[in-house]
Amino acid sequence: MSTVSPAGDEAVRLERFTTRIASGDQIEAGEWMPEQYRFEALRLIQMHANSEIMGALPEREWIPRAPTLARKMALTAKVQDEVGHGMLLYRVAETIGRPREEMYAELVEGRARFHNVFHYPAETWADVAIIQVFVDGAAMQTQGALRSCSYAPYSRVLKRICYEEDFHIQLGLDVWRALAEGTPAQRAMLQDALNRWWTPIIHFFGMPDRVSPHTEAMLAWRLKVKSNEELRQQFLRRFVPVILEYGLVVPDPGLRWLETEQRYEYTEPDWDELKRVGRNGGPKSAERLALRQSFYRQHAWVREALSRWSQAAA
Amino acid sequence: MTVPASSVALGDPAVRAAFREWLLRIADDELAIGHRHAEWTGVGPDIESDVAMSSIAQEELGHARLLYEQIAGEAPGAVDRLAFGRPPSEFRNAVLLEQPNQGWEFSITRLALYEAFESVRFGLLARSGQEPVAALAATLAREERYHGLFAATWLERLAGASVDAGGRVQAALDVAWPYALGFFETTDADGVLLRAGLVSDSAERQRDVWEAAVRPLLERCALTPPVAEPRLGGRRGVHTPALGEMHAAMTEVWASDPEARW
Amino acid sequence: MTPRGVEAARRTEAPWVRTLEAADGVWAVFLQARRRDAHVHVGDVHAPDAEMALVLAKENYARRDPCVSLWVVPARAIRGTASDAADMFEPATDKSYRFGGSYRQQQRVYRGGYSAGPTEDDR
């Protein structure tokens, strides 16, 4: 309408958009969305995609060394899934507006972020069990909640991702059980891995959210469905019993269940470490990025060849 | 009760040993290339191909496992003792398959050469009359079809994209070809199996069939196999240092406690 | 193409029509799980051509799920109804007259006839 100014138009659209999401509706690829929503959704999904791609690396190191043929096949399939998730997620991020090539290059050049847990070393075979059970278990809490997020292409992809993550957790529990019920050396290796991974896993969910306009906007837009602390508690309720069941020790002497509050109390971790790690300052950040860079450079001619081929084929 | 002819053949210890050696070659081939291909998981040239190559690796490892089971039986741990418990000198894989991946073009070229060979060999095994292995071979051949398709699709695109890319693939072929001829290296076992009628084609004949499949693909890609002597050794347990390196990684955890359940 | 067709192609699409924005080399993948099922969109792949797209789609989308056939289509060739056109799919008036369930009164007689039928197939 000519009587409505462009700015007024924008306000009407924004209101309609917000109302739709509040009513539980989801946004499709290619639809109008507020710039802030686009920015936040892209940041969330790109970070998720980056994490899957970088998350393939720690476990990948154990594929050549997996101790049985069955484990070797299953671990390969598991890492393959992570790579596949990266593919699905970059595609979703593309629908919000950035080419995959650009996002991938940004990751490789160390200008993008990925989840804290993938900046740590996988030192022994037992780390594979810990990653599959606890890291994937942690991711499952976040991703499971986000299945009801407001961006429909993301929620569709998360459905498949969660299905595959469940396989990872089941597989991990099988490795976990073999080691937990194994020789004293195997049990010791498992406990050691658990000790090293505990803090990164507690970090995984992020600092407890501050009450801020940002958090509120994210919740209102359903780009965040549960608070960091809710997800961390959900994770602890699910996985602390797994540790105790097998007679292993939770590596936090301060951890206890508060019956009245129905939540776990835990020792406050060093949040500065999380910030440092998140800025690619973790113990393995540089090495893993260097590996990505080296393969990326090595394959420049392959990308070039395929692009020439597709031009010729077009 | 009539005893099947195949059982009669395997009643001869020499034939039985030769047949076992043949199965071991096939299984070791699958394990070696499966191990190398699995190393691409997570670092492939593009995300989709990374995923696809990983499936191929898993299937090759799966084939190795089923074939080892034919040799070692189904007792718990028997397959892994066979796969992880032998020194490199007891491996019978062709040396081509233990070579490191080097580059994507090398892996693709090797895969194309290997799959053509696999289809010849699984055909022979399926016609060996030895059940249940023969039926197994026919089943496994089904998965190999996709592997060959993947290799050929990639090879054609890389080789045909540009002079630079074509040159890289040709260089990979120059390296891989003499090793690939090692697929057909023979030992006494080959003669025994031929005479007993378990294998219907001589190694020379197998190579002809293989070349008849491989050369048209290479021609389509404007690639020329070099004139070179075969690089042998694998079928006799004489390997390149690459196997030692691969074997050390592969057995690292298992060998830390071979009796443990992992 | 006839001149009329060219003109039609150049025409700006109607506001309720949506073109999927996708880069060159993005292929939409459609998977058929069983012969009796239709092909369903399961996701996309990046590939330099259709043949490679099919090769890659197989392991990216059919490594676990049952599949008997795949289709790939350049993603940007897809036209759809825009999301804000979703309204027009919502029936505004009672459409129950289209459904068998709305005519339940004689159901007992009808099903009864079947169950009294002579063969298994009739039931």
DSSP letter string, chain A: -TTS-HHHHHHHHHHHHHHHHHTT--BPTTS---HHHHHHHHHHHHHHHHHHHHHHHHHHTTTTT-SSHHHHHHHHHHHHHHHHHHHHHHHHHHHHT--HHHHHHHHHTT-S---GGGGS---SHHHHHHIIIIIHHHHHHHHHHHTT-SBHHHHHHHHHHHHHHHHHHHHHHHHHHHHHTS-HHHHHHHHHHHHHHHHHHHHHT-SPPP--HHHHHHHHTTS--S-HHHHHHHHHHHHHHHHHHTT---S-TT-EEETTTTEEE-PPP-HHHHHHIIIIISTTHHHHHHHHHHHHHHTHHHHHHHHHHHHHH-
| Residues of chain B contacting residue C48, judged by C-beta atoms under 8 Å apart | 157
Chain C residues whose beta carbon lies within 8 Å of the beta carbon of residue A96: none
pTM: 0.94
Instruction: Determine the residue of chain C that is closest to B55 in CA distance.
Output: C59
User: Does pLDDT of A4 surpass 90?
Assistant: no
Q: Which residue of B has its CA nearest to C47?
A: B48
Question: If you average pLDDT over every residue of chain A, what do you get?
Answer: 95
Q: Which residue has the tokens 């099988």?
A: A174
Interface test with C, best of B41, B46, B47, B48 (most C CBs within 10 A): B48
Percent of chain B with pLDDT over 90: 95
pLDDT value of position C14? 84
CB contact under 8 A, B47 and C46: yes
Give residue A1's pLDDT band: very low, low, confident or very high (50, 70, 90). very low
Give the confidence band of A137 by pLDDT, cuts at 50, 70, 90. Answer: very high
Tell me if B104 and A299 make a contact (CB, 8 A cut-off): yes
Q: What is the predicted pLDDT for the residue at B9?
A: 74
Task: Kindly state the DSSP code that residue B76 receives in the 8-state scheme.
Answer: T
Q: Which CATH class is domain A21-313?
A: mainly alpha
Each residue of A220-278: pLDDT tens digit?
Answer: 999 999 999 999 999 999 999 999 999 999 999 999 999 999 999 999 999 999 999 99
d(CA B58, CA A133): 22
Contact C44 A310 (CB under 8 A): no
Backbone φ and ψ for A27, nearest 5 degrees, come out as -95, 135
Rounded Cα–Cα distance for residues A18 and A218 (Å):
12
CA distance C45 to chain B (A): 7
Contact B46 C45 (CB under 8 A): no
Looking at residue A246, what is its pLDDT?
95
Dist CA A55 CA A79 (whole Å):
8
CB contact under 8 A, C59 and B46: no
Q: Is the dihedral of CA B190, B60, B40, C26 positive or negative?
A: positive
Which residues, other chains included, contact B84 with Cβ-Cβ below 8 Å and sequence gap of 6+? A67, A68, B250, B251, B254, B255, B258
- Model pLDDT, residue A2: 43
The predicted structure's pLDDT at residue A285: 97
Residue C50: per-residue pLDDT: 96
Which of C20, C26, C46 is the best residue to mutate to test the A interface, defined by the most A CB atoms within 10 Å of its own CB?
C46
Which positions of chain C have pLDDT values less than 50? 1-10, 123
What is the pLDDT at residue A56?
98
Cβ C60–A87 below 8 Å, yes or no?
Answer: yes
pLDDT digits (tens, 9 = 90+) for A93-103: 999 989 999 99
Fold that domain B13-256 belongs to in CATH: Ferritin (1.20.1260)
Partners of C43 on chain A (C-beta within 8 Å) are: 88, 91, 157
B69 → chain A, closest CA residue: A69
Give the residue-averaged pLDDT of B221-235.
97
Nearest CA in chain A to B249: A65
Q: How far apart are alpha carbons B221 and B165 in whole angstroms?
A: 11
- How many beta-carbon contacts under 8 Å exist across B and C? 30
Query: What is the per-residue pLDDT for B7?
Result: 56
| Structure confidence by residue, pLDDT tens digits, B26-60 | 999 999 999 999 999 999 999 999 999 999 999 99
Tell me which of B61, B79, B164 to substitute to probe the interface with A (most A C-beta atoms closer than 10 Å): B61
Burial of C106 (0-12, 13-18, 19+ CB in 10 A): exposed
Nearest neighbour of C43 by CB, restricted to A91, A99, A306: A91
Looking at residues A121-130, what average pLDDT do you find? 98
Tokens of A97: 């507006």
The residue-averaged pLDDT of B96-116 equals 97
Q: What element of type H or E holds A25? A: none
CB atoms closer than 10 angstroms to residue B116: 24
Residue C74 phi/psi, 5-degree rounding, is -55, 125
Helix and strand tally (H, E) in chain C? 3, 5
Shortest alpha-carbon distance between residue A82 and chain C (Å):
12
Phi first, then psi: give them for residue C43, nearest 5 degrees: 150, -170
> Is there a contact between A229 and A208 (Cβ–Cβ < 8 Å)?
yes
Q: Is the pLDDT at A65 greater than 90, yes or no? A: yes
Identify residue A200 by its one-letter amino acid code: P
Taking 80 as the threshold, does the pLDDT of residue B6 lie above it?
no
Q: Do A303 and B45 touch (CB under 8 A)?
A: yes
The alpha carbon of residue C23 is apart from the nearest alpha carbon of chain A, in Å, by 8
Burial class (CB in 10 A: 0-12, 13-18, 19+), B2: exposed
pLDDT of C5: 45
Contact across the interface for C55 and B153, Cβ inside 8 Å: yes
Q: Is the model more confident about A21 or about C116?
A: A21
Q: Which of residues C21 and A151 earns the better pLDDT score?
A: A151
Tell me, what amino acid is at A38?
A: R
C44–A306 C-beta distance less than 8 A: no
Residue-level pLDDT at C19: 84
Residue B204: band (very low, low, confident or very high) from pLDDT cuts 50, 70, 90: very high
Residue-level pLDDT at B167:
97
